[in-house]
């Protein structure tokens, strides 16, 4: 079909059309237009989306994955530029000899039935075309529109309005198809080197834009601030310039941001038009809005109506989209992926007045990264921290030696910028950035690929962190704290949220907060007798080791201690007060909270033999005080304290001579030195079976010295696994499983772990 035939076909209605790649933002818009024009529409894609679900309610016959059977009864097949000839639906259409057209061909044909307004350029098309559609709609002109993203204020990304004569659309220049359009008016935002996987050079790009200009029958609105656009467009017989440059036909002046609004005034050929308030930030959006002001004014829309519509405009998804905003943190997502877009977006981020800008950027396409290497190297000066992802390839084949590190190297060559790193594992980027988050920061996810998913992770977790900081009071809280720093084994992944309250009331409020929002909560002490899996712990991990939780008081033969008091500190306090019975505590490298939860013991002693009372917080944040008789207490386990959280306890001892206490302390210390390894460990790994101590059994099985990775069974005590350096939780778990299997096979003994194993394999920051 030629253009005229295609236009007649698509605007006639009642035909059978199939779309390949229908879930994409561009193709879903074409599907919506075809349905509105009365066609019977089917489509396929590799996955369903919110858009395909919406279109199905309008009549789309959707298949996932490809379904060549739906192609067979079609009269026309439309495909996206991402589709290759080997696609099953495409192959079927080719074999049947069906008409096959690109997305841009179909859009250009549909636009021929109305007065077209094309928005073209390398950057800003979606925002500008959606602004234009909104302004013309608010002016009562009933425009049809087609934009390349979800625009909440427009409702849908494409609309056919039979009542209006105008159709405004963004034109994709990436594959040269802007030459298909024959619009009434064109808006040219910018022209520069881009899409060099298709274009030979800048001259090739300029020739393509020049053809669009020749096919524009009405006005050409061009940005006077863009040197290439100005050079190519200025000589057009119906050219109208806009921008901040002196001499522009429509000029913006007195730009000043305030509270995420941007205020400016506009003049028309030197005469004032009026003031504008824009609710999307950035000077580049002021320029975009001025192009719409120029267009609408030339179409006869009163300036007051234009200004009112622009003030009510809200931006597109992924165009400086605020994902989370509070006094402490702001998380923003933006689609920018070209150096010019990056500079504009970072300038906007810097202009928010936040303390620091932390950016995670995902390069888009190997060819762009290679061709614009040096431009990328100069584009990030407005960010304090930059974590680079590896390249999002789109449909490209990798180019050897071209990675995210390419940009890091270019930045090092062209600037003295610090804080730049390359993280090839995309899902770790949220972890790298989130660990740095401080109050006052703005985090920006930037790029056209899937980096926005990491921004969404951080927005989710930053919102929870904000809530925790609001209710906790004194203390600290942060994201993705590595738990290997806080366990005696020195292994384990991060806590999704880490909190250290300083007061019992603050902790109770945290517990209530977590319960109300169904956030898992795990309370840990010094991390002895604890093995955290490599994925970390999802939810909130609380350590009670500050402020009131370190309180220790002696009353006669009784000692009251907060759960953050170390067991050795309890033993020394008892010694200094002349109280006996606490000496065995000295040999356990944990704190009071862990001793209570596990009913810890050593040298014949056991925690709950000396407990008078325990004060704890329940899941609703209420306080209770109970005696041991009121609690469920077992060997190395106190189930009552699994879902309730101890905050303090009172212990009893008995008066004893200083010499006797000193002798027992020395014996405890000596036993620990001679029977326990010095390397990092979690204490005893297994509970003792009834028939033989676990350490003796492991020795008899000849497993002392057995290792997996950096984890090894201690030569000193068989019931200890030590971290020789660099061990992972996976190493330790594999060694535990090996020991259990050996005991089962050789002695028919089931070894059960005494060490508490928590967490998950999948990282918490995904």
DSSP letter assigned to residue 135: H
Taking CA atoms, 569 is separated from 255, 470, 542, 585, in Å, by 63, 32, 21, 9
Which residues touch 635 (CB under 8 Å, ≥6 apart)?
599, 687
d(CA 209, CA 213): 6
CB-CB neighbours of 553 under 10 Å:
12
Angle (deg, nearest 10), helices 25-36 and 50-58: 10
Sheet of 721-723, strand order: 680-681, 721-723, 711-713, 707-708
Nearest Cα to 457, choosing from 761, 763, 760, 758?
A: 763
Name the burial class of residue 328, with classes exposed (0-12), middle (13-18) and buried (19+) by CB atoms within 10 angstroms of its CB.
middle
* Residue whose token pair is 């009251």: 560
Which residues touch 616 (CB under 8 Å, ≥6 apart)?
623, 624, 625, 626, 641, 644, 645, 646, 647
d(CA 216, CA 118): 9
Q: What is the largest CA-CA distance in the chain?
A: 107
Nearest Cα to 585, choosing from 575, 574, 570?
A: 570
Nearest Cα to 232, choosing from 101, 127, 121, 91?
A: 121
d(CA 394, CA 416): 31
d(CA 13, CA 206): 36
Taking CA atoms, 103 is separated from 146, 339, 391, 507, in Å, by 12, 27, 26, 57
Do the beta carbons of residue 760 and residue 538 sit within 8 Å?
yes
d(CA 160, CA 169): 11
Strand segments (E) across 379-508: 385-388, 420-422, 441-446, 475-482, 494-501
Exposure b/e, 624-636, CB count within 10 A at least 16 = b: eeeebeebebeeb
- Would you name the residues annotated as active-site residues? 125-126, 170
């Amino acid at each position: 079909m030629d253009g005229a035939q295609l236009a007649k076909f698509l605007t006639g209605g009642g035909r059978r059309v199939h779309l390949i790649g229908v879930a994409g933002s561009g193709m879903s818009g074409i599907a919506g237009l075809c349905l509105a024009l009365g066609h019977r529409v089917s489509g396929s894609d590799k996955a369903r989306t919110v858009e395909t679900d919406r279109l199905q309610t309008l009549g789309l016959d959707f298949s996932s994955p490809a379904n060549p059977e739906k192609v067979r009864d079609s009269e026309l097949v439309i495909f996206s530029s991402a589709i290759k000839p080997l696609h099953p639906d495409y192959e079927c259409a080719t074999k049947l000899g069906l008409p096959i057209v690109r997305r841009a061909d179909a859009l250009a044909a549909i636009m021929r039935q109305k007065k077209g307004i094309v928005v073209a350029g390398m950057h800003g098309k979606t925002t500008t075309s959606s602004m234009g559609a909104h302004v013309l709609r608010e002016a009562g002109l009933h425009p049809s529109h087609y934009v390349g993203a979800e625009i909440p204020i427009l409702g849908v990304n494409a609309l056919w309005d039979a009542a209006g004569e105008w159709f405004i659309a963004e034109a994709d220049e990436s594959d040269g198809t802007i030459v298909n359009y024959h619009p009434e008016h064109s808006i040219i935002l910018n022209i520069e080197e881009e899409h060099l996987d298709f274009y030979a050079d800048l001259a090739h790009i300029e020739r393509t834009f020049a053809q669009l200009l020749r096919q524009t029958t009405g006005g050409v609105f061009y940005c006077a601030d863009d040197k290439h656009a100005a050079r190519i467009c200025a000589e057009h017989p119906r050219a109208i310039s806009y921008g901040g440059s002196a001499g522009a036909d429509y000029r913006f002046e007195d730009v000043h941001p305030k509270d995420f609004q941007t205020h400016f005034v506009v003049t028309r050929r030197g005469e004032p038009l009026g003031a504008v308030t824009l609710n999307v930030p950035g000077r580049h959006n002021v320029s975009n809005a001025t192009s719409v002001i120029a267009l609408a004014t030339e179409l006869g829309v009163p300036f007051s109506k234009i200004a009112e519509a622009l003030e009510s405009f809200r931006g597109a998804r992924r165009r400086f989209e605020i994902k989370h905003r509070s006094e402490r943190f702001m998380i923003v997502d933006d689609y920018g992926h070209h150096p010019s877009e990056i500079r504009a977006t970072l300038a906007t981020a810097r202009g928010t007045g936040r303390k620091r800008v932390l950016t995670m950027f995902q390069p888009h396409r190997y060819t762009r990264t290679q061709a614009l290497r040096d431009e990328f190297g100069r584009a990030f000066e407005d960010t304090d921290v930059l974590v680079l992802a590896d390249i999002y390839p789109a449909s490209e084949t990798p180019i050897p030696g071209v990675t995210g590190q390419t940009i890091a190297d270019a930045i090092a060559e062209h600037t003295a910028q610090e804080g730049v790193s390359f993280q090839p594992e995309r899902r770790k980027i949220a972890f790298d950035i989130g660990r740095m988050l401080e109050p006052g920061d703005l985090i920006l996810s930037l790029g056209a690929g899937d980096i926005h998913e990491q921004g969404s992770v951080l927005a989710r977790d930053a919102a929870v962190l904000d809530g925790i900081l609001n209710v906790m009071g004194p203390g600290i809280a942060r994201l993705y704290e590595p738990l290997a720093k806080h366990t005696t084994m020195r292994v384990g992944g991060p806590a999704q949220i880490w909190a250290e309250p300083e007061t019992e009331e603050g902790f109770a409020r945290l517990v209530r907060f977590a319960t109300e929002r169904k956030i898992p909560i795990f309370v840990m002490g010094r991390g002895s007798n604890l093995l955290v899996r490599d994925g970390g712990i999802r939810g909130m991990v609380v350590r009670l080791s500050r402020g009131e939780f370190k309180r220790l008081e002696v009353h006669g033969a009784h000692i009251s201690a907060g759960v953050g008091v170390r067991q050795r500190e309890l033993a020394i306090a008892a010694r200094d007060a002349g109280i006996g019975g606490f000496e065995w505590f000295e040999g356990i490298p944990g704190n009071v909270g862990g001793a209570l939860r596990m009913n810890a013991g050593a040298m014949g002693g056991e925690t709950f033999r000396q407990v008078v009372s325990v004060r704890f917080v329940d899941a609703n944040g209420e306080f209770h005080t109970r005696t041991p008789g009121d609690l469920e207490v077992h060997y190395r386990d106190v189930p009552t304290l699994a879902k309730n959280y101890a905050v303090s306890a009172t212990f009893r001892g008995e008066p004893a001579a200083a010499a006797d206490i000193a002798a027992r302390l020395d014996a405890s210390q000596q036993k620990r030195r001679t029977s326990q390894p010095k390397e990092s460990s979690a204490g005893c790994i297994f509970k003792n079976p009834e028939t033989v101590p676990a350490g003796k059994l492991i020795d008899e099985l000849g497993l002392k010295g057995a290792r997996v990775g950096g984890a090894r069974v201690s030569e000193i005590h068989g019931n200890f696994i030590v971290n020789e350096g660099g061990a992972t939780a996976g190493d330790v778990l594999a060694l535990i499983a090996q020991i259990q299997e050996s005991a089962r096979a050789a002695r028919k003994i089931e070894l059960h772990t005494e060490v508490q194993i928590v967490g998950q394999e999948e990282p918490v920051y995904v």
